[in-house]
Amino acid sequence: MSQPQPTAAPTENKFVQGLGLLDSTMIVAGSMIGSGIFIVSADIARQVGSPGWLLVVWLVTGILTVVAALSYGELAAMFPRAGGQYVYLREAYSPLCGFLYGWTLFLVIQTGTIAAVAVAFARFLGVLIPAISPTAWIIPPLNLSSGYAISLSTQQGVAILVVVLLTIINTRGLALGKIIQNVFTSAKTLALVALIAVGILFMRSPEAVHANFGEFWTPRGVAEIRPDFSFMPMVTAAGGLGLLIAICVAQVGSLFSSVAWECVTFTAGEIKEPKRNIPLSLLAGTSLVISLYLLVNLAYLCLLPFAQIQHAPEDRVATAVINTVFGGSGAAIMAAAILVSTFGCNNGLILTGARVYYAMAKDGLFFKATGRLNPSHVPAVGLILQCVWTALLVLPRTRLHDPVTGALKTDPVTGAEQYGNLYGNLLDYVVFAVLIFYVLTIAGVFVLRRKQPDAVRPYRAWGYPVVPALYILVATVISLVLLLYRTQTTWPGLLIVLSGVPVYFLWKRKSASVPAG
């Protein structure tokens, strides 16, 4: 009589290490390059008032970004597992600190950015297909209060469809998402290189070059920066203190265009040789993008007089630049480039974000199902949950009011009420919070050097302790200026972060009440 064969023990479904150095670098660069570089320079130019200081703002952002990436490299090499920045904050401070980051990431940092980039994709697709419009209603606006409404336009519908499509693709496994990331990041990098070549090497305007570089530091058309506190002085970039404040306030646009490089740390569990490749990809990806951003702004200055940069229609500086070279077809060319850029950017954001929710669930601090991998070895439930919340952020609208009279804004031609987007407000609120988390994470390098002095550190932060300390100092100064001069968009960001405190204790209590086994 034959003996029954022992049943094989079930094997744990694990992440597949399918990302090499090039793939990781593409995630860093691709997640950073969205639509911001094509737009935000107009507002920065109005705030700082001269070509020289416009470039200085981007240079400050670049130095901050690369220094931060070098510091994150030490933490990434110490903790090469899924969750990235969430893990670093948890290990350096406490599970509560890590949770507050993950909570804010899910609530608005990742999902709000995905929503904003998806709507940007739909908006520029509307340049090519006019039927895709913010006022072509599938479900007309339903006013919920004096400040908010909900609607579904063809533009919103396309934005949601893009997020759903990329989510479905990324639930099918890492390989397909990686291919999309590599292809689209390469394409938009080449598009930026082409824009730089056209502006600096081949088609530069002698008039623009003379006007911009002949009066490189001369302020012109400077916008007033009004504080939200009545006791603080109104300033402009024409003075010493005013210039410092203007540079700090202008960082909102340039930093927003440069964030998300840390997303590659979320995928540490899927990167080959993570202790080596994550630090290298952080350095390579951020250095590439910041170099491109500086050169793109130099190209703007070689093609357009500064006043035209400051007052580009709808702040679309890149479109105004291309129009000077290709005439009326410039808008379509730029729209196509931004479609590629935003599609690739959102793929990177969607791919990486769910890995943080996975790590939180493994700690009992998020929905249990998000801590499981599907047969394709990806956190599909986390991806789907992220998709649903992002779609919900696309639907609400803000009812716009005149800042002086308080009257509802209407279209001057049709008389129809004009609406904004809720996620736009949330992103303004959270820029301050993102900067705080950067400071806390880099301070975590110091904390962990003391708490875990004997831990293996395959890579050590460059310039420690001076360079990371300078980052903390500069970023703190910027945060304080934003707190004083952009109070309405900083305190709400802090409140969003703090809203996670009671949620943390509720989740912790729930996790403790679940019997083991």
pLDDT tens for 311-365 read: 998 888 998 998 888 877 778 988 999 999 999 999 999 999 999 999 999 999 9
Cα–Cα distance measured from residue 38 to residue 231, given in angstroms and rounded to the nearest whole number? 36
77: tokens are 């090499």
CATH label of the domain that carries residue 300: 1.20.1740.10
Please give the pLDDT value at position 226: 81
Looking at residue 236, the DSSP 8-state letter turns out to be -
Q: Cβ contacts of residue 297 below 8 Å, gap of 6+? A: 41, 54, 55, 58
**Residue 13 located in a structural domain:** no
**Residue 15 located in a structural domain:** no
- Is the pTM higher than 0.95? The answer reads no
**Residue 11 located in a structural domain:** no
Name the strands in the sheet holding 396-399, side by side, starting at the edge strand that comes first in the sequence.
137-143, 148-153, 396-399, 419-421
**Residue 1 located in a structural domain:** no
**Residue 16 located in a structural domain:** no
Please give the pLDDT value at position 509: 85
Residue 296 has pLDDT above 60, yes or no: yes
Residue 478 has pLDDT above 80, yes or no: yes
CA angle 59, 110, 427 (to 5 degrees): 65
**Residue 411 located in a structural domain:** yes
Tell which phi-psi region holds residue 513, choosing left (phi > 0), alpha (psi between -120 and 50) or beta. alpha
**Residue 173 located in a structural domain:** yes
pLDDT tens digits along 98-129: 999 999 999 999 999 999 999 999 999 998 99
pLDDT band, very low/low/confident/very high, at 515 (cuts 50, 70, 90): low
Domain count, the chain: 1
pLDDT tens digits along 445-471: 999 999 999 999 999 999 999 999 999
**Residue 392 located in a structural domain:** yes
Containing 403, the helix (H) or strand (E) segment is none
Residue 9 has pLDDT above 60, yes or no: no
Q: Which of 267, 340, 254 is nearest to 296 (CA)?
A: 254
Domain region containing 492: 28-507
Please give the pLDDT value at position 309: 95
pLDDT tens digits along 384-409: 999 999 999 999 998 988 877 888 98
